[in-house]
Amino acid sequence: MITSGNDVAAMREACRVVRKVLTEVGAFIEPGVTTADIDALGRRIISAEGAVPSFLGYNGYPAGVCVSVNNEVVHGIPSTDRTIKEGDLVSVDVGAFKGGFHGDAAETFPVGRVIPLALKLLEVTIRARDLGIAAAVSGGHVGDIGAAVQQEVERNGFSVVRQLVGHGIGRRLHEKPQVPNYGSIGRGMRLSDGLLLAIEPMVNSGDAFVKTLSDGWTVITADGSLSAHAEHTVMIRGREPEILTA
């Protein structure tokens, strides 16, 4: 929760760095690059911008960004052994800490020609996230966000991951409240001006179940289906939140 102009400016700046990384990573990804190359680019930009990667060392997470491919949902650990190929669906999650504040956003990139199901999954995930953001209004409730996301996802025959949620953000990467991508209108914490949220649906083309690989981090779909992730950090502000990582 922030109210001072200085805090808002610092939060915008951390989020600008996150956006810069995602934009440059999006232009960089092509068949032949490894997920470690994506991590290296992300770290280079974050550090050149005078920021620190929020995820590096968080609960022992070993990289600067998360890169999750195809059936990987989130928290994929970049590796020199993982080479991107045509047709892949590559989610990149970026956090940057600068001026005392964290920004956090994720985008899923299609590599070259992908199957139609993958394109539909991407579209639905982004639309669900944006409908969730539109529901994040002052005086509303956290449940309004999840309800909007869930309705859009399920209307299209996909499923929302339950085991992972969005979150409050600001001076720490994860703050209260939790922001589930499912829920009921009118339920949960009341939203008010200055509240900072990371809204981040993870959407599976198959069922909602996920499991974690033995690396302790990589979350994959239990049924092997495709997954996509789209995240923005936003600030609640009247009838329309400010999308800080836009």
Q: Taking phi first (over 0 means left), then psi (-120 to 50 degrees means alpha), and beta for anything else, what does residue 188 get?
A: left
> Does 88 contact ligand MF3 by CB under 6 A?
no
Tokens 């600030």 appear where?
Answer: 235
> Does 94 contact Co ion by CB under 5 A?
no
Q: CB–CB of 121/175 below 8 Å?
A: no
Question: Site for ligand MF3 (CB under 6 A): which residue of 11, 21, 66, 147?
Answer: 66
Q: Which does 37 bind (CB under 5 to 8 A by kind): Co ion, ligand MF3, none?
A: none
Tokens 């951390």 appear where?
Answer: 14
Q: How many residues bind ligand MF3 (CB under 6 A)?
A: 14
Q: Which stretch binds Co ion (CB under 5 A): 19-27, 64-72, 153-161, 190-198?
A: 190-198
Site for ligand MF3 in 189-208 (CB under 6 A): 198, 200
Site for ligand MF3 in 132-191 (CB under 6 A): 167, 173
CB of 31 to ligand MF3, least distance (A): 26
Tokens 């600008």 appear where?
Answer: 16
> Does 129 contact ligand MF3 by CB under 6 A?
no
Reference 63, options 72, 71, 74, 73; nearest CA is 74
Q: CB–CB of 171/100 below 8 Å?
A: yes
Nearer to ligand MF3, 77 or 147 (CB): 77
Q: Which does 82 bind (CB under 5 to 8 A by kind): Co ion, ligand MF3, none?
A: none
For Cα atoms 98, 73, 93, give the angle at the middle one, nearest 5 degrees.
15
> Does 93 contact ligand MF3 by CB under 6 A?
yes
Burial class (CB in 10 A: 0-12, 13-18, 19+), 59: exposed
* Interface residue list for ligand MF3 (CB under 6 A): 55, 58-59, 61, 66, 75, 93, 104, 106, 167, 173, 198, 200, 231
